[in-house]
Amino acid sequence: MNVVILAAGQGKRMQSDLPKVLHPLAGKPLLAHVLDTARALEPRRICVVYGHGGERVREALGDRPGVQWVLQEPQLGTGHALAQALPMLDRTVPTLVLYGDVPLTRVDTLLALRSAGDGGLGLLTVELDDPKGYGRIVREGGRVKRIVEQKDATTAERAIREVNTGMMVLPTARLERWLSRLSNRNAQGEYYLTDVVAMAVDEGVAINTVQPASVVETLGVNSKRQLAELERVFQRSVADALLDGGVTLADPGRIDVRGTLRCGRDVSIDVGCVFEGEVTLGNGVAVGPHCVLRNCSVADGVRIEALCHVEEASVGAHSRIGPYARLRPGAELAEDVHIGNFVEVKASTFGKSSKANHLAYVGDASIGRDVNVGAGTITCNYDGAYKHRTVIEDDVFIGSDTQLVAPVTVGRGATIAAGTTVWKDVPAGTLGLNEKTQRAREGYVRPRKTKR
């Protein structure tokens, strides 16, 4: 089977300079959803017909192997679009036509459509209570005779509730002849692909129809409102799958998964959380409200408090994160690590049972076991040109308001006094501090504002 994805539409109602098929649904472009579905069918050829937005579409998704790209310029209708792809197709197998702005069609529905098209022509149709705007399926004696577009339909034809979704399976060997006979003498002045149905009937080709399990599978995106509606449909289906798998969701209507979320047993997720890329949550993980987790792994028993960001990081078992914590790429936490409020960790490792409970920045550091990082501590890792590493060995106590000027090492069991700037290595078991004196001046008069 060949698959041709028609993705040349302008999408004027999107009110955007971004090509319609590049607008994101669940974190990836509409066209990417359709391409993933097409690839799951294991076709011989996948061809994308693009137009509006030109190279922006191809640049965004052109790195996908095995996909052929064809430019439709100008855009003269769906029949004209398919004709541009014809030279790319294997004439010995049928061709499935999909649309780049219809992202939620299921693979099993398309497999059924492919079977319906064996030896003939298969149409995916659906019955709507309000079919306005859709091409109607005109039958005689129960058999499909033609498809008539809304603007060309008679009053009686507009009353038909069975409509064309645009998705069809066609005999490729006959396509060149059919497409060459298309006319643009219609209300739109376009070459309708649907006109080949009447040609197939005239030649005695069998027309078989299939309907999806849900109308949602056939819904396209023509406006930001429709995009938002499909986003919620998609997210609700993800939420339902999580619930069926035993995950506790505080509100299934307030979760966004923009990638793949894998959960162990007894996982709970509060409202407003966003999961992007590949995210794994172990058994017993609790995620507080309004957290963002991106391409990360969280081990068993971890609690992530409200309003945390975790990106390209790994969190060890039974650790505690947040609230208001940020784990940046390269953060690797061992078991029972505590990262508290307003703490940022980047490209650093924390050993077992170490903690930075509040108001700290730890970047490009290797921190051992049982280390306490006091409030206000920062690793000064950047000299304006290069990054340098800080090493803090096991059982070190870092007092509040400490600056560690990398590259520097604090030895095992050392203590750093509060307010110290550490720019030299601190030997194991010692106290590191900057000698200071404190004085109290008598007779000091505090400056005061004068009235004007």
Kindly report the three-state secondary structure assignment for every residue of 271-322: CCEEEEEEEEECCCCEECCCCEEEEEEECCCCEECCCCEEECCEECCCCEEC
Amino acid identity for residue 247 in this structure: V
Supply the pLDDT for residue 441.
Answer: 87
Core vs surface per residue 185-195: b (16+ CB within 10 A) or e: eeeeebbbbbb
Rounded Cα distance between 214 and 111, Å, is 15
Contacts of 95 (CB under 8 A, 6+ apart): 1, 2, 3, 4, 82, 89, 169, 170, 171, 172, 175
The rounded radius of gyration (Å) of the Cα atoms in the chain is 31
- Distance between CA atoms of residues 286 and 269, nearest Å: 6
In a structure prediction context, what are the per-residue pLDDT tens digits for the chain, which is 452 residues long?
999 999 998 888 999 999 999 999 999 999 999 999 999 999 999 999 998 777 899 889 878 888 999 999 888 999 999 999 999 999 999 999 999 999 999 999 999 999 999 989 999 999 999 999 899 999 999 999 999 988 899 999 999 999 999 999 999 999 999 999 999 998 889 999 999 999 999 999 999 999 999 999 999 999 999 999 999 999 999 999 999 999 999 999 999 999 999 999 999 999 999 999 999 999 999 999 999 999 999 999 999 999 999 999 999 999 999 999 999 999 999 999 999 999 999 999 999 999 999 999 999 999 999 999 999 999 999 999 999 999 999 999 999 999 999 999 999 999 999 999 999 999 999 999 998 888 888 998 888 888 87
CB 256 within 8 A of CB 140: no
Residue ranges, comma separated, of all CATH 2.160.10.10 domains in the chain are 242-432
Distance of alpha carbon 130 from alpha carbon 158, whole angstroms: 10
- State whether CATH 3.40.640.10 applies to domain 242-432: no
- Which of the residues are catalytic? 358
Per-residue confidence (pLDDT) for residue 335, from 0 to 100: 98
Q: Can you name the CATH fold of 2-218? A: Spore Coat Polysaccharide Biosynthesis Protein SpsA; Chain A (3.90.550)
Q: What is the pTM of this model?
A: 0.91
For residue range 332-344, list pLDDT tens digits in order.
999 999 999 999 9
CATH code 3.90.550.10 region(s) in the chain: 2-218
The two beta strands, 372-373 and 397-398, are: parallel
Q: What is the pLDDT of residue 10?
A: 80
Cα separation, 101 vs 261, whole angstroms? 24
Closest CA to 179 of 100, 73, 77: 77
Two tokens, residue 4: 């041709």
Tell me 387's DSSP state: B
The neighbouring-strand residues paired with 139 are: 144
Largest CA distance in the chain: 109
Q: Which of 249, 257, 262, 253 is nearest to 276 (CA)?
A: 257
